[in-house]
């Protein structure tokens, strides 16, 4: 496949983190955002976590995009939103606050899928004693959606070659020539991925071995302590709020 949700090969550049640490940071950011503590200025401290992960892994482009996006939305929140009245002000506030509040969790989720292989993901889930009923469907899902996107693009290219477009009186053919093949491809892809998963022993009764080596190091312990502090702070806000 040309594109995948989880990385196919191990990226050995920069500081490496355990997949459980990445999942803990993602979980913490989601809890903080949904918990409402982003309404305080202390929210901007955990918002720095994705930037640190990008820098530690030498993902310079991703770090620059995240920093520019977050800072731009932050500047607009303080210097533009309060001074735009009426309906345009509400629209601007929605446009600014949505990426401002959700960009940290989106960025750390991107970092997780870009730097974690499927083997690391499965090994981490097994170390957390997550049931196979959850691990196996998620592992298959990480392969399913990229394959579906490739098939969707291939079907679109085939339609263009045959002159089937929205204009020209052929709009009704879109349903027949795009969605019907897509449904058939989804069924076939699901069957193939399920067979591949069973072939690799994901559904066997015997505990599956994994050559992928994962473990907690100093950097993992540091970020896990930061996550613990963030969760404790969120709980305190819930209690006093």
End-to-end CA distance of the chain: 49
Residues 47 and 100 in one domain: yes
CB atoms within 10 A of CB 107: 25
* 2 within some domain: no
**What pLDDT is attached to residue 153?**
85
Q: Are residues 218 and 112 in the same domain?
A: yes
Do 105 and 158 lie in one domain? The reply is: no
161, pLDDT greater than 90: no
| Structural domains counted in the chain | 2
pLDDT at 54: 92
Q: For residues 135 and 107, state if they share a domain.
A: no
* Tokens, residue 120: 């690391």
Residue 146 binned pLDDT confidence (cut-offs 50, 70, 90)? confident
**What is the per-residue pLDDT for 170?**
59
Q: Residue 64 pLDDT > 90, yes or no? A: yes
Contact indicator for 203, 136 with CB cutoff of 8 Å: yes
Please indicate, yes or no, whether residues 110 and 150 belong to a single structural domain of this protein: no
Instruction: Give the per-residue pLDDT at 1.
Output: 42
Structure tokens at 164: 């089937």
Length of the chain: 241
Average pLDDT of the residues in 130-152? 78
Same domain, 111 and 221: yes
The more confident residue out of 180 and 64 is 64
SS3 211: coil
CA distance 63 to 183: 38
pTM metric for this prediction: 0.76
Residue written as token pair 């795009």? 178
Percent above pLDDT 90 for the chain: 9
- Residues 32, 87, single domain; the answer is yes
- Rounded Cα distance between 50 and 70, Å, is 11
Residue 23 CB: number of other CB atoms within 10 A? 19
Which pair of tokens denotes residue 68?
């520019």
Quick one: which of 39, 73, 67 has its CA closest to 53?
Answer: 67
What the block records as the tokens of 87 is: 């309906």
Return the half-sphere exposure (C-beta side, CA atoms, 13 A cut-off) of residue 196: 12
Q: Which residue has the higher pLDDT, 104 or 141?
A: 104
For the chain, give the percent of residues with pLDDT over 70.
80
| Residue 207 counted as domain residue | no
Average pLDDT, the chain: 79
| 122 belongs to a structural domain | no
Average of per-residue pLDDT across 96-125:
85
Quote the domain boundaries for residue 195: 131-199
Please state, in angstroms and rounded to a whole number, the distance separating the CA atoms of residues 50 and 39.
Answer: 19
């Amino acid at each position: 496949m040309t594109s995948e949700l989880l990385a196919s090969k191990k990226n050995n550049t920069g500081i490496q983190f355990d997949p459980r640490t990445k999942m803990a940071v993602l979980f913490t950011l989601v809890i903080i955002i949904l918990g409402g503590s982003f309404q305080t200025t202390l929210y901007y401290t955990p918002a720095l976590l994705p930037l640190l992960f990008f820098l530690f892994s030498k993902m310079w482009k991703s770090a620059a995009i995240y920093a520019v996006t977050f800072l731009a939305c932050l500047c607009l929140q303080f210097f533009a939103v309060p001074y735009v009245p009426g309906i345009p002000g509400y629209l601007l506030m929605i446009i600014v606050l949505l990426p401002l509040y959700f960009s940290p969790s989106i960025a750390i989720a991107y970092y997780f899928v870009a730097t974690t292989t499927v083997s690391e993901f499965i090994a981490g889930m097994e170390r957390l004693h997550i049931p196979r009923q959850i691990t196996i469907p998620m592992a298959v899902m990480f392969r399913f959606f990229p394959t579906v996107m490739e098939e969707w693009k291939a079907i679109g290219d085939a339609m263009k070659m045959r002159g089937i477009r929205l204009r020209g009186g052929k709009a009704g053919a879109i349903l027949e020539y795009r969605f019907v093949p897509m449904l058939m491809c989804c069924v076939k892809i699901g069957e193939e991925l399920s067979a591949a998963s069973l072939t690799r022993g994901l559904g066997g009764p015997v505990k599956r071995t994994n050559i992928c080596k994962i473990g907690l190091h100093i950097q993992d312990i540091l970020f896990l302590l930061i996550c613990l502090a963030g969760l404790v702070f969120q709980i305190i806000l819930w209690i006093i709020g």
